Amino acid sequence: MVLAAAGLDTRAFRLNWPPQVCLYEMDLPEVLDAKEEVIGKAGSRARCERRAVGVDLSQETWPEALLGAGYQPEKPSVWLIEGLLFYLTRSAVRGLLEKVGMLTTAGSLLGLDVMNRGLFLSPVAWPMRAALARRGAPGKFGTNDPERLMARHGWEADATQPGEEGANCGRWPRPIVPREVPGVPRSFLVKARRP
C-alpha cells in the first residue's frame, strides 16, 4: 500500500491491516519528520509494517526513493493519492501518473480525488481559490473527464462525485448536479484498476 502525499494520515495506526501489508507513506521530508515527532510523543505503534519515504512528488527522482525503501513493483499494490493533484501543474500530474503506472503491475488499484475545470471558472469558487493562493497553495489542475485522464495512463477507472450513490453515506445535504451541466465546480472520487 502506498500513500502518496501522506501528510499526517493515521491509517497505519488506526486500521486493522492484514499481517502481510507494508504501508509506504510518501511526503516531503519535513512533513514526515514533524509526523514522526508527534507519533513518538504519543507513543503510537503502527498496526502494519510502515515505511516513511521522504520525497518531493513533483520531482523526477521519487521512484528511486520508494524502490530503495523496499517497494516491489512486480507485486500488486494499492495506491492512494488524496488532496494532491489540485496543487500540481498539468505536466506534474502527467509525470506523477506516468511514474505510478511504471511502478504498478496488472491487478494493482489506485484511488484518488481530483477537481474539475469548473472550479477554476466559477465565481462561486473564487474566494476559496484566492484564500489558497494567499497561503501559497494555489490550485493548478483540474479535469472534467477523470476516466479519460486515467485511461491515458493505463488505468480502467470509475469516477463518482461526492453525494452520488456509493459516495453519500446518507450525509450529503443537497442535490447532485449532473456531470453534463457545464461550469459547475465539482470534485471526483476515482477508483482505478491496472488491467
Give the domain range for residue 105: 2-193
**Nearest to residue 179, comparing CAs of 121, 117, 128, 125?**
117
In the chain, the number of structural domains is 1
pLDDT tens digit string along 137-184?
A: 888 999 999 999 999 999 999 999 988 877 777 777 788 888 888 888
The rounded percent of the chain whose pLDDT value lies above 70 is 100
Do β-strands 187-193 and 109-115 pair in parallel, antiparallel, or remain unpaired? antiparallel
pLDDT tens digit string along 13-49?
A: 999 999 899 999 999 999 999 999 999 999 999 999 9
CATH number, domain at 106? 3.40.50.150
**Nearest to residue 87, comparing CAs of 60, 119, 109, 61?**
119
**Which range is least confidently modeled, 43-52, 64-73, 108-117, 169-178?**
169-178
Q: What is the CA radius of gyration of the chain?
A: 17
- Per-residue pLDDT, averaged over 82-102, amounts to 95
Judge contact between 71 and 41, C-beta under 8 A. Answer: no
Beta-ladder partners of 156: 193
List strands edge to edge, sheet with 187-193. 49-54, 22-27, 2-4, 78-81, 109-115, 187-193, 156-160
Location of C-alpha cell 523526477: 60
pLDDT for residue 83: 93
Location of C-alpha cell 519528520: 33
What distance in Å separates the CA atoms of residue 180 and residue 178, rounded to the nearest whole number? 5
- Cell of residue 5, nine digits: 502525499
What residue spans of the chain are helical by DSSP H?
Answer: 11-14, 29-42, 62-68, 90-102, 118-121, 126-134, 146-152
Helix (H, G, I), strand (E, B) or coil at 109: strand
Location of C-alpha cell 469548473: 118
